[in-house]
A = this chain, B = another copy of it.
């Protein structure tokens, strides 16, 4: 982690400046190192842009607001934004999403970035000739509920209040990466038994 890069992060508002002990000497503490790790995780593993990370850390630092609100502010930038022209089926997909949320009894905003991202994915699926895929949405939702429950459980057991927002961010981003990897591994297993069986102990390379 080079010095100019760190200064770049400071300039970009991702990292607080070190405390100046003299005009050309600044001291950095453990908090700075921790913040750096968070930045790297969001950039590398989470795939966020610098602007996205700025949004996240701004919310994290601003943690005097009601928790519920800050959690949203911190995690909203984590989901990618799509610009959709209206009229290509997105309206319909949005309705489907709203219906799913209602059917599940979730207290979740149907106009949140996450819901919108889901609608966009459904449209893309439809465009690609996989409209029937929505049939398995319920299975996905079941799995998502299970995972979300485990996440909250972990937070309740291991996370102190003042770390809550940061943990939520980390868990959201890294949890996605983890689940995605596990799903891929499970696919390899399923695909192995369905299509490939046993060409020398591999999986689907």
Contact = CB atoms under 8 A, between A and B. Distances in A.
10 contacts: A41-B128, A44-B82, A44-B124, A47-B80, A69-B204, A129-B163, A136-B150, A144-B179, A156-B194, A179-B180
A192 B72 CA distance: 10
A148 B190 contact: yes
The A interface, classified by DSSP as helix, strand, loop or mixed, is helix
Contacts of A151: 136, 187, 190
A167 interface: yes
Q: Chain A interface: which size bin? A: 35 or more
B182 A118 contact: yes
Given A47-B80, A141-B186, A148-B186, 6 more contacts: A44-B82, A66-B199, A73-B205, A107-B189, A118-B185, A156-B194
Contacts of A172: 183-184, 187
